Amino acid sequence: MKRLAVYLKPFLPRMGMGISFKAVGTLVELAIPWILSYIIDDLIPLKEIRLVCLWGGLMIVCSLIAWGGNITANRMASAVARDCTRQIRHDLFQKISYLSESRVDAFTIPSLISRMTSDTYVLHQTVGMIQRIGIRAPLLLFGGIIVSLTMDPMLTLIMVASLPIVGVIVFYVSRKGAKLFKIVQKASDSMLRVVRENAVGVRVIKALSKSDYERARFKKVNDDLTEKERTAESTMALINPVMSLLLNLGIVAVITVGAVRVNNGTSEIGKIIAFMNLYTIVLNALMAINRIFMMLSRASASSARVLEVLDTPVELFETEPHFSFLPKDAPHVEFDHVTFRYARGSFAVRNIDFALKRGETLGIIGATGAGKSTIIRLLMRYYDVSEGSVKIDGVDIRDYATSDLRAKFGVVFQNDTLFKDTIRENIRLGRNLTDEQLLEAARRAQALEFIEEQGGLDAPVAIKGANLSGGQKQRLLLARALAGDPDILLLDDSSSALDYRTDAKLREEIRLHCADATKIIIAQRISSIMHAEKIMVLENGNVIGMGTHEELMETCPLYREIGESQIGEGLAKEVRA
Ligand SMILES: Nc1ncnc2c1ncn2[C@@H]1O[C@H](COP(=O)(O)OP(=O)(O)OP(=O)(O)O)[C@@H](O)[C@H]1O
């Protein structure tokens, strides 16, 4: 918590001003019961209407000052909370965008999202609340007791005696409530997970007629959440009736003792009325202080989660290049006996060793989970190799500045993302490219025709490209990868949704127009990679075949098996196309 306090530093003057407004408003508010008692006990018996009106007017002025002070302070508090949380969110986002993939794996993406959203929201609420009631509640509590003491010490004693009872009850009920609300939060997370899975998998659920099953699954989590909410709310619902009971008992005690004291002339009627007012103020202040402690305990959990991200070391941060010249005649892309294992997993690839000259193509084929995508992730330095090295132009990729390294690639990942934006922005992705360049990339990616049908580059793309077919999405992603004429083109299963004819045209375009780019193409179809200079066959992270199509058909049984099963149907279709 203390560590995050640095975010408040720039706002200290504004906070100070807001807190001063709040203090003035609160103190003036405390004067109101005192003036009330003075009017009833001292002025009304004098029958001085003019004085009564004057002090009555002062009461109104005090109310207005208290109202104005509170509103101004609350607005300033909200502005500080908003600006401070904005900065925290900014730094968190910045940090997350520099985190290595292995760190992201360790945190998990849903957890990072909830740290960015729910946790920063709790901090936002706490910063606002501390300013709004952090000064007001103690002032009302202690100020109320002091004002009461100046009026009637005996009645004050009755009021103060009941406070520990109220404090203990409110503290225990709230503590129990906080625990129960944590359980509610977990149940709500489970419900959200089911809703999310349903929304994402709605097509498959319908296709497999699993709607009844999913409805039953949702009913279970929904009933569970409702039950936990009921328990938590009925516990918390105890607080208000208990407070009302104690308030009424306290008021009865004040009236009873007050009546005796008025009768024997040691107190006055106005003081008893003012006491009833002060008693309510003090009890509410006590509850507010309790709320602050509850909020602080939530905030300390949230700030620990936020700090955990902010304090995570960045391994792949921007660096200056660590080399002064590029070795001559080095291969363009080279994997030198690379072995890698994910933080949570066994070896994903072992002893990968290949070199590609500029302009050459490497095709990679293998079963699911064989390690194909891992090779691309290692080349782009999303992860650092466990053994060996990855080189571009003869220089270890760890010696490149990250931005220089990443600028070399045009890439389509498996299940890549389209953003809710225009077609133009989805292809351009923030790069400085003209419309002509974007359209040329779209043409090469066989996307031009459908882009024109959609209404051109300004046509909208829905979240994750939901308004496009699978093949249209892939063509748009390919256009994004081709735009900007990358040095190295990486395509991970990027043409699986294209028909054979479009796939063949695409390959021809890449061959003609990306002759200088070195290409790594992962595919399930042999026809997509059979013309590559080198083809790698992967099995369980190991290279079990490396060579041209013809060589592998001779030497690699797995490749031959895939080839024979696909070539009959695939090549026939391609020839027809
Ligand atoms: N982030 C990760 N953390 C832990 N293990 C991982 C991670 N990503 C992949 N793996 C594991 O590494 C191995 C290789 O994964 P990879 O994604 O490279 O396979 P692939 O050949 O591309 O598979 P597919 O064809 O299904 O995409 C798999 O066993 C996979 O479970």
Q: What is the pLDDT of residues 451-466, one digit of tens each?
A: 998 889 999 998 888 8
Mean pLDDT for the stretch of residues 501-527: 87
Ligand 1 neighbours, Cβ below 6 Å, are 105, 342, 344-345, 348, 366, 368-374, 414
Same domain flag for 403 and 301: no
213 assigned to some structural domain: no
Q: Pick the last residue of a domain from 281, 313, 345.
A: 313
Q: How far is the CA of 371 from the centre of ligand 1 (A)?
A: 6
More confident site: 245 or 428: 428
Taking the centre of ligand 1 as the mean of its atom positions, its distance from the CA of residue 329, in whole angstroms, is 33
CB atoms within 10 A of CB 300: 14
> Which atom of ligand 1 has the smallest separation from the CA of 375?
18
Q: Do 402 and 301 have their domain in common?
A: no
Cα(559) to ligand 1 centroid in Å equals 20
DSSP β-bridge partners for residue 460: 422
Ligand 1, residue 370: give the atom nearest the CA: 21
The residue type at 481: A
Query: CATH no. for residue 124?
Result: 1.20.1560.10
Predicted pLDDT at 519: 94
Assess whether 301 and 404 both reside in one domain.
no
Q: Number of structural domains, the chain?
A: 2
* Amino acid 98: pLDDT: 81
Q: Is the pLDDT of residue 390 over 50?
A: yes
Q: What is the ipTM of this complex?
A: 0.95
Helix (H, G, I), strand (E, B) or coil at 48: coil
Does 306 have pLDDT greater than 80? yes
As a whole-number percent, the residues of the chain with pLDDT over 70 amount to 94
- Centre of ligand 1 to C-alpha 57, Å, is 77
Mutate to test the pocket of ligand 1, among 335, 350, 374 (most ligand atoms within 8 A of CB): 374
Please give the C-alpha separations between residue 76 and each of 126, 137, 505, in angstroms, as whole numbers.
14, 18, 62
User: Atom 3, ligand 1: which residue's CA is nearest?
Assistant: 342
Tell me if 90 sits within 8 A of 307, measured CB to CB: no
- Residue 175 falls inside a structural domain: no
Length of the chain: 577
What are the distances in angstroms from CA 4 to CA 8, 124, 299, 305?
8, 12, 11, 11
Using alpha carbons only, give the angle 287, 289, 294 rounded to the nearest 5 degrees. Answer: 95
3-state SS assignment for residue 490:
strand
- Please tell me the distance between residue 100's alpha carbon and the centre of ligand 1 in angstroms: 16
Please indicate, yes or no, whether residues 105 and 70 belong to a single structural domain of this protein: yes
Using the predicted structure, report yes or no on whether residue 501 has a pLDDT greater than 50: yes
Strand 460-461, strand 387-392: pairing: unpaired
- Per-residue pLDDT band at 318 (split at 50, 70, 90): low
The number of the ligand 1 atom at minimal distance from the alpha carbon of 377 is 18
Minimal-distance CA residue to ligand 1 atom 25 = 368
Q: For position 491, which CATH number holds?
A: 3.40.50.300
In a domain, 93, yes or no: yes
Q: Specify the ligand 1 atom closest to the Cα of 414.
A: 27
Q: Are 329 and 314 in contact (CB under 8 A)?
A: no
Nearest atom in ligand 1 to 105's CA: 1
Residue with the nearest Cα to atom 17 of ligand 1? Answer: 373
Are 568 and 520 members of one domain?
yes
**266-267-268 Cα angle (round to 5):** 140
Q: How far, in Å, is the centroid of ligand 1 from the Cα of 372? A: 8
Helix axes 120-133, 49-98, angle to 10 degrees: 160
C-alpha–C-alpha distance, residues 18 and 136, integer Å: 11
Q: How does the average pLDDT of the chain come out, rounded? A: 86
Task: Tell me the average pLDDT across 126-145.
Answer: 91
Residue 138 in any domain: the answer is yes
Identify the weakest region by mean pLDDT among 62-76, 167-181, 202-216, 399-413.
Answer: 202-216
Tell me the C-alpha distance between 140 and 281, whole Å.
7
Q: Whose CA is nearest to atom 30 of ligand 1?
A: 369
- Report if residue 48 sits inside a domain: yes
Same domain, 107 and 9: yes
Nearest-CA residue for ligand 1 atom 1 is 105
Question: Does residue 397 sit in the same domain as residue 308?
Answer: no
Of all protein residues, the one whose alpha carbon is nearest to atom 2 of ligand 1 is: 342
| Domain end residue (candidates: 253, 278, 313) | 313
pLDDT tens digit sequence for 532-566: 999 999 999 999 999 999 999 999 998 988 888 87
Say whether both 306 and 359 belong to one domain. Answer: no
Q: What percent of the chain shows pLDDT beyond 90?
A: 37
Check whether 572 has a pLDDT greater than 70.
no
Q: How confident is the model at residue 202 (pLDDT cuts 50, 70, 90)?
A: low
Span from the CA of 401 to the centroid of ligand 1 (angstroms): 26
> In a mutational test of the pocket of ligand 1, which residue from 99, 102, 346, 373 has the highest number of ligand atoms less than 8 Å from its CB?
373
Please tell me the distance between residue 373's alpha carbon and the centre of ligand 1 in angstroms: 7
Measured by CA distance, the residue closest to atom 11 of ligand 1 is 348
Q: Does one domain contain both 93 and 46?
A: yes
Whole-angstrom distance, CA of residue 27 vs CA of residue 25: 6
Mean of pLDDT values over 26-51 = 87
Domain span at 143: 1-151+297-313
CA of 383 to the centre of ligand 1 (A): 13
What residue type is assigned to position 117 of the chain?
A: T
Q: What is the number of the ligand 1 atom nearest to the C-alpha of 371?
A: 18
Q: What is the mean pLDDT of residues 198-204?
A: 65
Q: Which of 183-187, 332-336, 462-466, 479-483 is predicted least confidently?
A: 183-187
For residues 338 and 308, state if they share a domain. no
Q: How many CA atoms lie within 13 A of 59 on its CB side?
A: 15
What is the Å distance from ligand 1's center to 367 Cα? Answer: 11
Q: With bands split at pLDDT 50, 70 and 90, how would you rate the model's confidence at 576?
A: very low
Using CA positions, which residue lies closest to atom 28 of ligand 1?
Answer: 369
* CA of 68 relative to ligand 1 center, distance in Å: 61
User: Is residue 187 in a domain?
Assistant: no
Residue with CA at minimum distance from ligand 1 atom 14? 371
- Residue written as token pair 């203090």: 23
Our separate counts of H helices and E strands in the chain read 20, 12
Q: Find, among 286, 268, 245, 253, the residue nearest to 158 by Cα.
A: 253
Same domain, 303 and 389: no
Provide the angle, in degrees to the nearest 10, between the axes of the packed helices 239-263 and 269-310.
Answer: 150
**For residue 545, is it within any domain?**
yes
User: Which residue's CA is minimally distant from atom 26 of ligand 1?
Assistant: 368
Q: First CA to last CA across the chain, in angstroms?
A: 65
Instruction: Name the phi and psi angles at 248, rounded to 5.
Output: -65, -40
Spatial separation of the C-alpha atoms in residues 194 and 136, rounded to whole Å: 43
**Predicted structure pTM score:** 0.68
How many angstroms separate the alpha carbon of residue 368 from the centre of ligand 1? 8
Provide φ and ψ at 91, rounded to 5°: -65, -40
- The C-alpha angle with vertex 52 and arms to 49 and 53, in degrees rounded to 5, equals 85
* pLDDT class of 512 with cuts at 50, 70, 90: confident
CA of 348 to the centre of ligand 1 (A): 7
Domain end position, chosen among 264, 280, 313: 313
Q: Tokens 């936002």: give the residue.
A: 124
Answer whether residue 461 is part of any domain.
no
Is pLDDT larger for residue 408 or for residue 267? 408
